[in-house]
Amino acid sequence: MGSLEDRNPHHFNPLDLEEFRTQAYQTIDFIINYYQNIETFPVLSQAQPGFLKSSFPNTPPNKPQPFQTTLQDVQTKLMPGLTHWLSPNFFAYFPSTISTAGFLGEMLCTAFNTVGFNWLASPASTELEILVMDWMAKMLRLPETFMFCGSGGGVLHGTTSEAMLCTLVAARDRALAVDPNRDVNKLVVYGSDQTHSTYAKACKIAGIAPENIRTICTTLGSEFGLEPRLVSEAMEADVAAGLKPIYLCATVGTTSSTAVDPVDGLADVARRFGVWFHVDAAYAGSACICPEAGLITGSLSTDPEYLKNKQSESNSVVDFKDWQVGTGRRFKAIRLWMIFQMYGVANLQSHIRSDIHLAKGFEKMVNSDSRFEIVVPRRFALVCFRLNPPRPKSKPKPVELLNRKLLEWVNSTGRLYMTHSIVGGIYFLRFAVGATLTEDRHVAAAWEVISEGADHVLRDES
Amino acid sequence: MGSLEDRNPHHFNPLDLEEFRTQAYQTIDFIINYYQNIETFPVLSQAQPGFLKSSFPNTPPNKPQPFQTTLQDVQTKLMPGLTHWLSPNFFAYFPSTISTAGFLGEMLCTAFNTVGFNWLASPASTELEILVMDWMAKMLRLPETFMFCGSGGGVLHGTTSEAMLCTLVAARDRALAVDPNRDVNKLVVYGSDQTHSTYAKACKIAGIAPENIRTICTTLGSEFGLEPRLVSEAMEADVAAGLKPIYLCATVGTTSSTAVDPVDGLADVARRFGVWFHVDAAYAGSACICPEAGLITGSLSTDPEYLKNKQSESNSVVDFKDWQVGTGRRFKAIRLWMIFQMYGVANLQSHIRSDIHLAKGFEKMVNSDSRFEIVVPRRFALVCFRLNPPRPKSKPKPVELLNRKLLEWVNSTGRLYMTHSIVGGIYFLRFAVGATLTEDRHVAAAWEVISEGADHVLRDES
């Protein structure tokens, strides 16, 4: 590299502060304009594979493009390929959210750009994360054993998968440490057929043999919750076969239908077999900030193993790099802190209740139309329903096909976006409320479109 | 959860657009003010463990705090605990950077908040990432087999560790698939004593037995590069012992001293033993955008295994969730795209050369003072040096202690921040140039402080 000489570089200032101010203001205005007009775009992008290729040269520009050109490109070249996750008419998957406080927190995180891999590298990053993790645990009314101020603690992971992977590796290594053969092929993990698919992926990354990932069936009868008795039987059978159960994953709010596994009963089974018990509350965890959801958060406290680790036992500083896969870490805590600080717990609770309120409104509309039915009872802000019109016995109903057609028709209008799932062999539509900008009127308008779609597919069919 | 009722929620609007505009503008101004005054803060935070605890209540606020209070808290309560990674006087670890384009890209990423786990979920996110990955590969002059437009492709990972983990798992599973016993304990991986510590961690997460992680010694003689002959010998010995080599990690720009492993020779060894060859260029990879660094990028092209995977072979759409640990993923590509678009390749090259220019300037200062010496030849923008004054033979030199004292003295001034490392038993100081705001004058001032520190510790010692 001796040849990487100074070639008399011409002046290039990537952080001219006045330019930064002007362009950042303009970007804010661009974003506000986007939110103001977000309802004019088809919610689900209508782009075809490869749409972007012809819009840009296939080599990077050698010279700078004017900022206005860049914003123009975002508007004209990228926007048609965006699915508008923040649209008030986005009812697919689980919606993502945005808030002023969250956005400002993200700005500060980017602006400081600290790399808080250990305490020393930026004390405020670590200590603020400790603070907000305990605030969060208190808001969820978890026992002190889950908090830094007790004997526990928490960490902000980038994804659910990473949280699963870190606990899986801990459970795996604990088992291997007492096995003279260190035979990973004897280790077995458990979940249900409703556990998120990312769980099986995390298990494979951790080196669990695919045939040792037990997927226990759930049924409509138990509202798709994982039955402790079945887990216990599966573990007994595995032990009898010379295998070693190490990990049980329960879910509070499954992705398909927001089913809630009976955490209490499962914790008992986990304790009896001495396995690590992990609770995935990626979706419904936030609902637990409302005291009326106490049944669930109460159950969480039955599990002293969850989140326990050697760092929590120590009284010295926390090095968060040891709590995650990577080494580098952004100052994510400041975003969460801004949300607490600028909104307060009462408003966050109100926000959750408002989502539930909207979902209940939608549920009523479904119930008021005899052509539709609710497939599983609504728990949070997801309504699982399907078109299932009464018909003479002589004419069997192609219910799944009808609903597939309905979904396609609805999404193709671009006026809203929903997705589907299948549980217990039943194909259904998922109406997931939670986008920040969604109001009563959007839910009502969405129902209009769905109802019109039902007219359409039923007319076609007859 | 049937009890999670609508409790007549009072109005809470987390995204009032005029409030958003006002507060976002104010946050921009706050950030600019921070950059303008960044040199007035001690670079390394002088905070003590637990400093933050008394600044905030131990439960989250129930009611919102005014925005001005929040910004004030950032200034008065958090700032003292920040280590200023963006300070022009930050010469520790490897500096982090900031640019207007990167910041604006991050804003748009946050604003759209798309979750691009598969193509359909937001086509523009996936297609823009494909575009910028190919742009990046072209800028690095990699062969087409590394590009989507060839038979390869790339993905933006959150951390180096994640990239290592994903390739390790692929290498592990390829080996296990042809082993009837699926015995992970027979698999061996290779790196040097200069490979980043995150490598051993990734290996452990992937379930490689700790005793099968070979750490091959490097020496000053080979400038701390990993010698292909030693790797070859280690692999031969392992094969003879019935073990199975699966993975070799080379580094272009090690963390301690920016050593460059001889990628060409190592690739030959990797090919001969049929092992996965991974090149970690987390630091020095960016230097390879300058054509004069062609020696290194040329070598990279000898490795067709790197980045190859089954998705690259397919001609259909790319689902990036299958390229990473997690499922969710932010629209990170837009940040990289903004940087390309708003700066152009020529400016990015100039920026790299400017960092090198500053490091060379510092190197000259070190060389001009006979009390100091350069420990390993400078390659990029890191200068490895130490205080090692000429002394009579009768008086043995406590060189390491002198340098520890010097480092502590320099960092305690708060005027700059450096870190240290040890290679080949030699304790030395690392002066890493690369913070966005660093100019000649900061390097010169840093040298003044270091020189003053040398006077101080040598006076103390005599």
Do B331 and B385 have their domain in common? no
Measured between CA atoms, the residue of chain A closest to residue B17 is: A32
pLDDT band at A10 (very low <50, low <70, confident <90, very high): low
**In the predicted model, is pLDDT for residue A159 greater than 80?**
yes
Return the CATH number at A231.
3.40.640.10
pLDDT for A383 equals: 96
Q: What is the largest CA-CA distance in chain B?
A: 86
Do B37 and B128 have their domain in common? no
Q: How far is A129 from chain B (nearest CA, A)?
A: 11
CB A332 within 8 A of CB A326: no
Write the residue in B36, B124, B201 that is nearest to A52 by C-beta: B124
pLDDT band at B369 (very low <50, low <70, confident <90, very high): very high
Better-predicted residue by pLDDT, A455 or B397: A455
Do B209 and B319 have their domain in common? yes
A424: left (phi over 0), alpha (psi -120 to 50) or beta: left
According to DSSP, residue B252 is labeled: B
Q: What is the pLDDT of residues A263-288, one digit of tens each?
A: 999 999 999 999 999 999 988 888 88
Confirm whether B5 is domain-assigned: no
Confirm whether A433 is domain-assigned: yes
Do B320 and B381 have their domain in common? no
pLDDT band at B95 (very low <50, low <70, confident <90, very high): confident
Looking at the structure of chain B, the number of domains it has is 3
Write the residue in A107, A112, A292 that is nearest to B5 by C-beta: A292
**In the predicted model, is pLDDT for residue B315 greater than 90?**
no
Confirm whether B169 is domain-assigned: yes
pLDDT for A16 equals: 94
**In the predicted model, is pLDDT for residue A305 greater than 60?**
no
Confirm whether B116 is domain-assigned: yes
Do A172 and A300 have their domain in common? yes
Find chain A residues with C-beta within 8 A of B260's C-beta: 1
Domain stop point among B90, B117, B145: B90
Q: How far is A192 from chain B (nearest CA, A)?
A: 19
* Mean pLDDT for the stretch of residues B136-150: 89
pLDDT for A389 equals: 93
Spatial separation of the C-alpha atoms in residues A367 and A371, rounded to whole Å: 9
CA A232 to chain centroid: 28
Write the residue in A24, A111, A290 that is nearest to B104 by C-beta: A24
Domain that holds residue A250: 155-306
Find chain B residues with C-beta within 8 A of A357's C-beta: 6, 9
* Mean pLDDT for the stretch of residues B411-438: 93
Confirm whether A253 is domain-assigned: yes
Confirm whether A100 is domain-assigned: no
Measured between CA atoms, the residue of chain A closest to residue B337 is: A60
Classify the complex by whether its ipTM is higher than 0.95, answering yes or no.
no
Return the CATH number at B42.
1.20.1340.10
- Residue B54: is it exposed, middle or buried by C-beta count within 10 angstroms (0-12/13-18/19+)? exposed
**In the predicted model, is pLDDT for residue A315 greater than 50?**
no
pLDDT for B316 equals: 59
**In the predicted model, is pLDDT for residue B1 greater than 80?**
no
**Average pLDDT of chain B?**
88
Contact between chains at B20 and A32 (C-beta distance less than 8 A): yes
Confirm whether A302 is domain-assigned: yes
Identify which of A205, A184, A170, A180 has the alpha carbon closest to the alpha carbon of residue B182: A184
pLDDT for A158 equals: 85
Q: What is the pLDDT of residues A201-234, one digit of tens each?
A: 999 999 999 999 999 999 988 889 999 999 999 9
Bridge-partner residues for B373, per DSSP?
B386
Do A259 and A381 have their domain in common? no
Which 3 state secondary structure label does DSSP give B258? coil
Do B51 and B182 have their domain in common? no
CA A120 to chain centroid: 31
Measured between CA atoms, the residue of chain A closest to residue B351 is: A12
Q: What is the pLDDT of residues A361-413, one digit of tens each?
A: 999 999 999 999 999 999 899 999 999 998 877 777 789 999 999 999 999 99
Residue for token digits 């010169």? B444
Angle at B79 between CA B78 and CA B82, to 5 degrees: 95
What are the phi and psi torsion angles at A263 (to 5°)?
Answer: -60, -40
Q: How far is B234 from chain A (nearest CA, A)?
A: 23
Q: What percent of chain B shows pLDDT beyond 70? A: 92
Residue for token digits 């994953």? A249
Do A170 and A255 have their domain in common? yes
In A252-358 the beta strands, taken as DSSP E runs, fall at: 276-280
Write the residue in B21, B317, B354 that is nearest to A32 by C-beta: B21
Which 3 state secondary structure label does DSSP give A192? strand
Find chain B residues with C-beta within 8 A of A327's C-beta: 159-161, 196-198, 201
Which 3 state secondary structure label does DSSP give A431? strand
Return the CATH number at B408.
3.90.1150.10
Spatial separation of the C-alpha atoms in residues A181 and B105, rounded to whole Å: 51
Helix (H) or strand (E) holding B384, with range, is strand B382-387
Find chain A residues with C-beta within 8 A of B354's C-beta: 6, 9, 12
Do A299 and A363 have their domain in common? no
Q: How far is B232 from chain A (nearest CA, A)?
A: 26
Do A363 and A298 have their domain in common? no
**In the predicted model, is pLDDT for residue A249 greater than 60?**
yes
Confirm whether B4 is domain-assigned: no
Do B163 and B83 have their domain in common? no
Spatial separation of the C-alpha atoms in residues A199 and A189, rounded to whole Å: 10
**In the predicted model, is pLDDT for residue B165 greater than 50?**
yes
**In the predicted model, is pLDDT for residue B309 greater than 60?**
no
Q: How far is A395 from chain B (nearest CA, A)?
A: 36
pLDDT band at B310 (very low <50, low <70, confident <90, very high): very low
Measured between CA atoms, the residue of chain A closest to residue B50 is: A127
Q: How far is B395 from chain A (nearest CA, A)?
A: 36
Do B67 and B112 have their domain in common? no
Measured between CA atoms, the residue of chain B closest to residue A326 is: B161
pLDDT for A316 equals: 59
Write the residue in A32, A61, A356 that is nearest to B6 by C-beta: A356
